[in-house]
Amino acid sequence: MTKSEFAKIIDHTALKPDTNETNINQLCEEALKFNFGAVCVSPTWVPLAAKKLAGSLVKVVAVVGFPHGSTLTSVKAFEASQVISCGADEIDMVINIGALISGHEDIVFIDIESVVQSAIKVNPRVIVKVILETAFLSDGQKTLACKIAEKAGANYIKTSTGFATSGANVHDVSLIRGVVENRLGIKAAGGIRDLSTAKAIIAAGATRIGCSSSVSIFQEYLKEA
């Protein structure tokens, strides 16, 4: 993987509750400096990120229904349309975790499909990633969630929010890749803080990496290259 290819799979992330304007400005400046593929921010910071990155190849990713996924479907769909209107290129939505665990497949499907449909009405080229929050799910539930997300029109499966008891790991990425094969992308996120972890997860099948340690990971990669 070339330096450019490695940089492009990174979603440089700032989603902590205390993230402020200075943090977002720095996030965007770092993304531009290192040519990362995207920045991932909360809805309130989308307009600023879009302004900072205007004219560049760095995409703006906005989270929806974040971090618990228990927001009403109608609110998630509206949030998706709003952040795209404000400049987001991609959506990372959290599934209705409780509904999935309760066995309500129809609710999970409608939740995802509603966000997908709302998003593409504003921008037909928008990318929608579905966050499973794998820490709370059995392998069977992860497999089912992947199938529902694909049926609902998602483009990517994302492992985690980074706010659960654990984040991305090789097992979950491998499992997801086995379910979706090459039809969907996989974004691994949560707990990816060094190059060795990133490499292992990419080898397992991840096509995007979401992390806040992007700069140190990329600098570590450059030293090895």
Local confidence pLDDT in tens for the 225 residues of the chain: 899 999 999 999 999 999 999 999 999 999 999 999 999 999 999 999 999 999 999 999 999 999 999 999 999 999 999 999 999 999 999 999 999 999 999 999 999 999 999 999 999 999 999 999 999 999 999 999 999 999 999 999 999 999 999 999 999 999 999 999 999 999 999 999 999 999 999 999 999 999 999 999 999 999 997
Query: Active-site residues: which are they?
Result: 92, 158, 187
Count of CB atoms situated within 10 Å of the CB of 165? 9
Q: What is the greatest pairwise CA distance in the chain?
A: 48
| Number of domains into which the chain is organized | 1
**Domain that residue 148 falls in:** 3-224
Quote the CA–CA distance of 108 and 79 in Å, as a whole number: 17
Tokens of 99: 């509904």
Q: Say whether 65 sits in a helix, a strand or coil.
A: coil
Quote the CA–CA distance of 60 and 28 in Å, as a whole number: 9
Quote the CA–CA distance of 151 and 160 in Å, as a whole number: 20
Q: What is the pTM of this model?
A: 0.97
DSSP state of 136: G
Q: Which residues pair with 189 in a beta bridge?
A: 210
CATH number of the domain bearing residue 141: 3.20.20.70
